[in-house]
A and B are shown apart, each in its own frame.
Chain A
Amino acid sequence: MKRVATIILNRNLPLETERLYESIRKHNGDCTDIFVVESGSEEAKLSKYCTWWANWEESLAHGLRFPRGFNYGLHQLFSKPQENNYEFYFLICNDAEVPEQPFLKTLVEIMDEHARVGILSPCSADWGEINLLREKDVRYFWYVNHIAWLIRRTYVDCVRELDSPSYMNFLYDGENLRGYESEIELITKGYINDWATAITSRVRVQENKSHLLAKADLIRTEPYEESLVKCLVEGKKWMRRKYGFNSRWAMQMYAKLFYEKFFEFHPYLEGNRID
């Protein structure tokens, strides 16, 4: 049994998705099974590796975006417990660029070294965090964007929806469609439950924004700038409704609070702090 389940999220970009699928399979196929969620793709634009197709009306109209899309994939996997014996889930969007060499093994090794890490993100070359990872290549953070995350199953079991799981709530809160600050919520849930979130520079991934900038019409999404505005407006409404937070800073400080508490309860992990 392979230890990792990779879930690739696609919407209407079959070639890019297939390229990513094949690259991961070629270099990491020995340690991962790969699943593709078609997040409201048109039938003609399904990837040949499609595993699950979210093809209901709303999904076709708006796509699932990453929170609902990964929820959908994870929910499908968890619906068949006998086939879901994975220890880790690698959740990656099709606009991510991954190393053309084995990297999942490295990520899993880091997870094995850091037993209290629930979420592990490779560092992107254009993140300033890279400067904090020069001397020590794995550190714990309270703020990380989701490009490609390796998530530990025990963390997922700890925070996932149990009563009525669906693509709306399995892990991410699907009410926040485009997911502005949704990552912070998962990170905070982690720290509250004794699970840290780490970034490593041992593996690099990068978001290829050119897909959103140049292929928005193909993906059948809004132009990039419009998408950012919607993402922000929806995200702020969501934060206000759910937490009564009026600012992203409130969400950040909320996460930071539990980050600090985590080290009070796990002082032996102090060396992984970023300050």
Chain B
Amino acid sequence: MLAQKLERFYRARRVTLLGVGPMSRNCVDAAIELANEHETPVMLIASRRQVECSEMGGGYVNNWSTEKFAEYVTRHDKKGQVILARDHGGPWQSPEEVREAYSLRMAMESAKRSYSVDIACGFQIVHVDPSIDINGKPSATEVLDRVFELYEYCWEEARQNRREILFEIGTEEQSGSTDSVESLDQTLREVTQFCQRNRLPPPTFIVVQTGTKVVEMRNVGSLDSPFRIAGELAPEIQLPRIMSLCRKYKIFMKEHNTDYLSDETLSWHPKLGIHAANVAPEFGVAETKAFVQLLNENGLRKYSEQFLSLAYDSMKWEKWLGPDSAAGDQERALMCGHYVFSHPVFLELKSAAVKELQGKVDVDLYLKNKVKASIFRYLIHFGWVKAI
């Protein structure tokens, strides 16, 4: 059903399907509302850090387990526009598997259990990404072997649960440069052969490196750079080549790390034939900035300082920091505020702020609208909604 629906969309007009990272409950609500208001499909792309099955203790977003998250989305998505998707499923994609230094077999089993719950809960797209290995960089063959094992497992789970699932494959971490067409060709050839050999449906999406990379609160990849980046093949040349390869294998091209791209580049996504694109931290940062601004403008600086220091102390900004970064403490905190949205200290300070702003501002409505504006920019440029 979903596969046909996507085919229909792409046949009818050039659009890019948006994947929204569920950074917070407000972000999830914003995505559901926009999808329903504009009758536009939107994917909610949950990583295992964000949302994880209850047996593994849930994720950091709203303390949601996969089960609760899926139930929440399904209940609120009145028109059935939201597609639940697992982003970066696979071994060592859960913090627990890294922290406890799982062996390969344990990490694969853990990933499979996580996928099982996803499928049972109605996730329709699963990203199979075994590119992480805490024991060192796996070879291309090892990565593909793991893709095949997980692919077969998920398909069997879906069959037993009578669920429809689509596969997204991506075997490399995003680097900010573009893919080698030769290596992509080889991956697609091997995956196609595997699927044919085992009578499995071919993957629907392939994650390709289009030249996007998020550092701090900007996109530093080659895609958005108006000038050539040394050592890189200009995306102007590379993208059409990748597109033609995707056409050859009848697979949709998915971009990751689309956050913070300029309007100009975003508006070219449908024209360039990028079928789907994921955006995540930008929406979390939009909510963080909106909350800090709201507090500061209403004389509640004590709460904003408390929030920023909680975010800073989480050290989650480390992941986003660029080399030789000039980012100050406040900027670092803004990069990662969303990681502490479910922290008891944050919940307490937010509740106190809500009380103080009662009758003046509906805090969550305000925050949700800010995130909606941020998501809306993508829906316009991706061809789903006409700009007013």
Measured CB to CB, the residues of A under 8 A from B are: 126-129, 131-132, 141-143, 145, 180, 228, 232, 246-249, 252-253, 256, 274-275
Contact of B241 with A145 in the complex, beta carbons under 8 Å: no
**Smallest CB-CB separation from B241: which chain A residue?**
A275
Q: Which residue of B lies closest to A209 (CB)?
A: B230
Interface residues of B (CB under 8 A from A): 177-178, 180-181, 226-228, 230-234, 236-238, 240-241, 244, 264-265, 267-268, 271-272
Q: Is the CB of B237 within 8 A of A126?
A: no
**Shortest Cβ distance from A128 into B: residue:** B233
Which B residues touch A232, using CB under 8 A? 226-227
- The chain B residue with its CB closest to the CB of A181 is B226
In the bound complex, residues from chain B placing their C-beta under 8 Å from that of A145 are: 228
How many Å lie between the Cα of A274 and that of B239 in the bound state?
A: 12
Partner of A247, one of B181, B230, B264: B264
Residues of B within 8 A of A228 (CB): 227
Distance in Å from the Cβ of B175 to the closest Cβ of chain A? 12
Nearest Cβ distance between residue A255 and chain B, in whole angstroms? 9
Shortest Cβ distance from residue B93 to the other chain A in the assembled complex, whole angstroms:
30
For B227, list chain A residues within 8 Å (CB): 228, 232
B272 touches A141 (CB 8 A): no
Contact B228 A127 (CB under 8 A): yes
User: Number of residue pairs across A and B with beta carbons under 8 Å?
Assistant: 49
A-B contact pairs, 18 of them (CB 8 A): A128-B178, A128-B233, A128-B234, A131-B180, A143-B237, A180-B226, A232-B226, A247-B264, A248-B226, A248-B236, A249-B236, A249-B264, A249-B265, A249-B271, A253-B271, A274-B237, A274-B241, A275-B241
Q: How far is the CA of A145 from the CA of B226 in the complex (A)?
A: 13
The smallest C-beta distance from A179 to any residue of chain B, in angstroms, reads 12
Does A143 contact B231, Cβ atoms closer than 8 Å?
no
| Shortest CB distance A84–B (Å) | 33
Which B residues are CB-close (under 8 A) to A142?
Answer: 237
Nearest 6 interchain pairs by C-beta: A128-B233, A126-B230, A249-B268, A275-B241, A252-B236, A128-B232
Q: Are A275 and B240 in contact (CB under 8 A)?
A: yes
Which residue on chain B has the smallest CB distance to residue A247?
A: B264
Q: Find the A residue at minimum CB distance from B226.
A: A232
Q: Which residues of B contact A141 (CB under 8 A)?
A: 237
* Contact (Cβ within 8 A) A143 B267: no
Nearest Cβ in chain A — how far from B39, in angstroms?
28
Contact A249 B240 (CB under 8 A): no
Q: How far is the CB of B323 from chain A (nearest CB, A)?
A: 19
Chain B residues in 8 Å Cβ range of A127:
228, 233
Of A132, A143, A246, A249, the residue contacting B272 (CB under 8 A) is A249
Cα–Cα, bound, A250→B227 (Å): 15
Partner of B237, one of A129, A180, A248: A129
A132 in contact with B233 (CB, 8 Å): yes
Instruction: Kindly list chain A residues whose C-beta atoms are within 8 Å of the C-beta of B233.
Output: 127-129, 131-132
15 new A-B pairs (CB below 8 Å) besides A129-B237, A248-B236?
Answer: A128-B232, A129-B233, A141-B237, A142-B237, A143-B234, A143-B236, A145-B228, A247-B267, A248-B226, A249-B236, A249-B264, A249-B272, A252-B236, A274-B241, A275-B181
